[in-house]
Amino acid sequence: MIFPVIFVAALGAWFRYANAQAVTVAVPLSVPSSAASLNPSLLSFSIEQDRWADWAGTTSKNGFFLNTLHNLEQRTGHAPSLRIGADSEDHTNFDPSVEFSEAVFPAFSATTPYPEASNVVVGDKYYQIISHLPKGTSVIWGVNFGQNNLTAAFLEAQSIQNAFSTKAVKEAKVKLDFIEIGNEADLYHSNGDRPGTWNIAEYTKEWTAFAQNISAAAGISSNSSTKFIGGGFLGSGHSSNSFSPQGLFASGILNSTEGQLITSISQHHYSGSFCSGSAGLLQDLMTKSSIRGNLNPFVPDIAATRALGLDYVLGETNSYACHGAPGVSNTAGAALWTLDYMLFSAQLGISKVYFHQGVGYKYNMIQPATLTRSIIDGSTLDTPLDPHVQPQYYAGLIANEAIGKSGSSKIVELNINDTRVSGYAFFEHENLKHAVLINSEAFTTSSTGPRTSKNITLSFTGDGTERKTMTVKRLAINFADDANGLTWGGQSFETADARPSGTLSVEKINVNDAVALQATEVVLLSFHN
């Protein structure tokens, strides 16, 4: 559906906030050498596989979920990649008598209203419904390694291979990029899946034995398009004797025939934890320095991986581990965190960021199924809550619009001397195309005093095509701790079908005019000659 565009250019529109602080931002006109190439599927999703059938749909497609993916695909020309696995990956077994899946869940609690399944049994159709995804979707599928049951992993891999050989999946052109063997194996020695002395060398030996059998079952070879993804550890010791990329390489995992089929390394990471019920502060999550402090420690890991010609992804990540913190992970402020976190990841050389999702998790971008319990405290809802998007989803829309459809986009972080304002420039065919500015100061329902604002003035540097005008598109947020009510360019995606409602509103100004950027706001600037 195409909406009319309203251009707002009234005199003084950029100075709407009294006593706004002036900030000058230098923006290069042509791509600098420090810019990183952008994967069109930078925004990707990790899905807890215990309720995969709820996401995809069984006898028919989950239209709501598909609409959310199509919204994102329309902006880059590429559907988000999916990783299906996570904790329940290591609790899944195969039984040909099961049609889709049968899962056993532990009791829920106020802290964990929607826990992962303790046991999942799946059949062939569980894998075959991958055909419901948008054409061209790339998939990572996880198999059970934690229970150390080679037969289970072999049967799962065999059924996965059979699914991707079916007519329906072939016609959908859904691609199996990787098989992932186990989830967060660095925790096995502490969760009882392996002895307490289990180390990276023993991991590599066992992984190789599993990979030998799984490669045969799934048809993975040097000539196949499907490969193995390595790592998937929750932490990183950043050293040659630890669970880390450096430890994997030092252990010789790439020396075996199977190890040579690893073409990408995955790292899992969360900014904190809510596993025991401790709450997080929204401003702490959103803060510019916190985001960089969370991601910069992985720079040596990324360098070690890319030095060997391998790709590096965040294969599972989100705000706070154990499904998010209430009043933080499910809020508008988390959308700003998501956007800055994702774009800074790209600047570091991370090609895809798989934000973890589950049915009823607080930090979801998308709630794909009807909920009967509160995601905040597990209380029974008076009225079931239909499928819907949550605030973080808007971050995906913004990032994908900035990346665009050129297939040649690059990104560079802008050097902004402000502890609250982050910025990124985007280039297509080597020339400046967009900029994203994020004001991460949390303006909440409990804030006192007027909402602050920054007046951003751009200073263009270097050679390149001169820009004369720009359009400004805003992520409008009332309060950082709101759980809904956001609009992107005047449009809401919080609709019954996830399609936008409302008239698109974009401001058009001269590039020399200041842009007002209030606390808890994002703007996308698009430049024109």
- Encoded tokens for 187: 């925790």
Q: In this structure, are 276 and 179 located in the same domain?
A: yes
Torsion from C-alpha of 293, 299, 301, 305, nearest 10 degrees: 150
Residue whose entry in the numeric block shows the structure tokens 């700003």: 336
Task: State residue 10's pLDDT score.
Answer: 37
Using pLDDT thresholds of 50, 70 and 90, give the confidence band for residue 278.
Answer: low
Q: In this structure, are 488 and 352 located in the same domain?
A: no
Q: In this structure, are 464 and 329 located in the same domain?
A: no
Pick the last residue of a domain from 403, 420, 444: 403
Task: State residue 280's pLDDT score.
Answer: 67
Task: State residue 272's pLDDT score.
Answer: 82
Q: In this structure, are 255 and 340 located in the same domain?
A: yes
Q: What average pLDDT does the structure give for the chain?
A: 94
Task: State residue 324's pLDDT score.
Answer: 86
Q: In this structure, are 415 and 382 located in the same domain?
A: no
Task: State residue 2's pLDDT score.
Answer: 40
Task: State residue 279's pLDDT score.
Answer: 58
CB-hemisphere CA count at 13 Å for 274?
27
Helix/strand/coil percent split, the chain, to 5: 25, 30, 45
What pLDDT digit, counting tens, does each position of 2-35 carry? 444 444 443 333 344 446 899 999 999 999 999 9
Q: In this structure, are 389 and 420 located in the same domain?
A: no
Domain count, the chain: 2
Lowest mean pLDDT among 105-119, 278-292, 310-324, 419-433: 278-292
Q: In this structure, are 48 and 101 located in the same domain?
A: yes
Task: State residue 101's pLDDT score.
Answer: 97
Task: State residue 466's pLDDT score.
Answer: 87
What pLDDT digit, counting tens, does each position of 238-269 carry? 999 999 999 999 999 999 999 999 999 999 99
In which element (H, E) is residue 101 found?
A: strand 101-104
Q: What is the CATH number of the domain that holds 456?
A: 2.60.40.1180
Q: What is the CATH number of the domain that holds 287?
A: 3.20.20.80
- pTM comes to 0.95
In which element (H, E) is residue 124 found?
A: helix 124-128
CA-CA distance, 132 to 210, in Å (whole number)?
29
- Encoded tokens for 298: 């992985």
Pick the last residue of a domain from 403, 431, 447: 403
Q: Is the dihedral of CA 231, 233, 237, 241 positive or negative?
A: negative
What average pLDDT does range 475-499 have in this prediction?
97
Task: State residue 302's pLDDT score.
Answer: 98
Q: In this structure, are 21 and 81 located in the same domain?
A: no
> What range defines the domain where residue 476 resides?
5-36+409-528
Q: In this structure, are 433 and 329 located in the same domain?
A: no
Q: In this structure, are 350 and 452 located in the same domain?
A: no
Pick the last residue of a domain from 339, 370, 403: 403
208 residue type, one letter: T
DSSP state of 501: B
What average pLDDT does range 461-487 have in this prediction?
95
Residue whose entry in the numeric block shows the structure tokens 């016609």: 171
Beta bridge partners of 53: none
Residue 236 has pLDDT above 70, yes or no: yes
CA-CA distance, 211 to 267, in Å (whole number)?
19
What pLDDT digit, counting tens, does each position of 29-39 carry? 999 999 999 99
Q: In this structure, are 314 and 416 located in the same domain?
A: no
Closest C-alpha among 149, 125, 132, 269 to residue 210 = 149
CA-CA distance, 333 to 521, in Å (whole number)?
9
Contacts of 38 (CB under 8 A, 6+ apart): 346, 403, 409, 410, 411, 426
Task: State residue 239's pLDDT score.
Answer: 95
Using pLDDT thresholds of 50, 70 and 90, give the confidence band for residue 274.
Answer: confident
More confident position, 311 or 272: 311
CB-hemisphere CA count at 13 Å for 246?
15
Task: State residue 3's pLDDT score.
Answer: 41
Residue 120 has pLDDT above 60, yes or no: yes
CA-CA distance, 415 to 312, in Å (whole number)?
25
Task: State residue 9's pLDDT score.
Answer: 40
Using pLDDT thresholds of 50, 70 and 90, give the confidence band for residue 146.
Answer: very high
What pLDDT digit, counting tens, does each position of 71-103 carry? 999 999 999 999 999 999 999 999 999 999 999
With a pLDDT cut of 70, the percent of the chain lying above it is 95
Q: In this structure, are 353 and 496 located in the same domain?
A: no
